[in-house]
Amino acid sequence: MVLKLVVWAILAFLLMPLVIIVLFSFHASPSLSFPFAGFSLRWYAEVLGNAQLGSALVKSLTVACFTALITLILGAAASLAWLRLGHRGRALLEVLCLTPIALPGLFVGVSLLVLFAQARIQLSTATIVISHVVLALPILIVAMRARLALFDPSLEEASRDLGASQMQTFGKVTLPLIAPTLIASAILAFAVSFDEFVVTSFVAGTETTLPMYIWSMMRRTVTPLINAISTLALVFSVAILFIAWLIGHLRRRSAVAGRTVS
């Protein structure tokens, strides 16, 4: 009984902010507190009408997409290496990957800024992407590690044994099997990049990403616009997860259907 109450309390604690933000994003008045004064889409209209906000959003999406793509390619290569490494190699890779995660964002931001200055690289969208890859890659490798540990290397041997070349084995066995892991990791990298603030503020130069824009907006006044933006971001992430699930589901169904019809 007590345990049940605790569970519900924790759930409420986790979900209440979400519910409140979504609710107030539809609030008809600018007030951010109860009593609730009725529903309206005015904040959404204002969000969509705000050109600066729009360009910051586009910037953030662009950065997040490139970060996800680059991290995915590097992560896939790293994970293939991981599958072929022995215990010692894995342990070494783990130490190398875990250390950057533990570093404070402040430190990473400053060191990247110094590095870019030393190398005479102009601060731009590209430097933001590079910085986000630096942040996302270790997280991604750590996230993939547990799932790749379940990958059975004898599957690759079985494929070779059945007549598939190394390239065919990669395309027909390894890649399809690690694809869900890679996609999940790419989504994670996207998420890390999309709301990154500390490091971005060092390396963004004159560029503005969505978190930076919201922060600058908040410095003036706390506006209900924030609620609408947050709700949109929430819908967006849920949609991505749903699409990922749907792709997997449809692929399986079409594979079986394709054969029984022919």
Partner 1 sequence: MTIRAPVIEITAAQKMFGSFQALSDINLSIEQGEIVTLLGPSGCGKTTLMRLLAGFEAVTAGTIRIDGKDCAGQPPERRPVNMVFQRYALFPHLDVFENVAFGLKVKGTPKAEIRERVQRMLHIVQLDSFANRYINELSGGQSQRVALARALVNGPKVLLLDEPLAALDLKIRQHMLVEMKRIHAETGATFVYVTHDQDEAMILSDRVVLMEKGRIVQVDRPETMYAAPKSLFAAKFLGETNLFEAAMASDDASGMTAVTGSGLRFHSSIVPAGELRGKAIVSIRPESFRFNRDNDTTQSATGQVEDVIFIGSRSFYTICLADGVRARVQVQRSTRTSLPKPGEKAEIFWDSENVVILPGS
Reading the block at residue 167, the tokens are 């390239």
Task: Report, in Å, the least distance between residue 142 CB and partner 1.
Answer: 24
Which region, judged by CB under 8 A, interacts with partner 1, from 65-73, 84-92, 136-144, 151-159?
151-159
Residue from 162, 235, 238, 247 that binds partner 1 (CB under 8 A)? 162
Task: Report, in Å, the least distance between residue 186 CB and partner 1.
Answer: 19
- How is the chain split among helix, strand and coil, in percent rounded to 5? 80, 0, 20
Closest to partner 1 by CB, 120 or 161? 161
Residue from 7, 92, 157, 218 that binds partner 1 (CB under 8 A)? 157
* CA–CA separation, 150 and 173 (whole Å): 14
Ranges of H-type helices in 40-86: 42-49, 51-84
The answer to whether 154 contacts partner 1 (rule: CB under 8 A) is yes
Count of residues touching partner 1 (by CB under 8 A): 22
Which region, judged by CB under 8 A, interacts with partner 1, from 80-88, 92-100, 166-174, 211-219?
166-174
Reading the block at residue 155, the tokens are 């599957």
Cβ–Cβ < 8 Å for 139, 148: no
Residue from 19, 58, 77, 155 that binds partner 1 (CB under 8 A)? 155
Q: Which of 32, 22, 19, 26 is nearest to 231 (CA)?
A: 22
Cβ–Cβ < 8 Å for 43, 34: no
Site for partner 1 in 225-244 (CB under 8 A): none
Angle at 77 between CA 76 and CA 82, to 5 degrees: 95
Closest to partner 1 by CB, 158 or 218? 158
Cβ–Cβ < 8 Å for 70, 129: yes
Which region, judged by CB under 8 A, interacts with partner 1, from 2-10, 17-25, 117-125, 148-156?
148-156
* CA–CA separation, 25 and 4 (whole Å): 31
Applying CB under 8 A, the residues found at the interface with partner 1 are 152, 154-155, 157-165, 168, 172-173, 176-177, 255-256, 259-260, 262
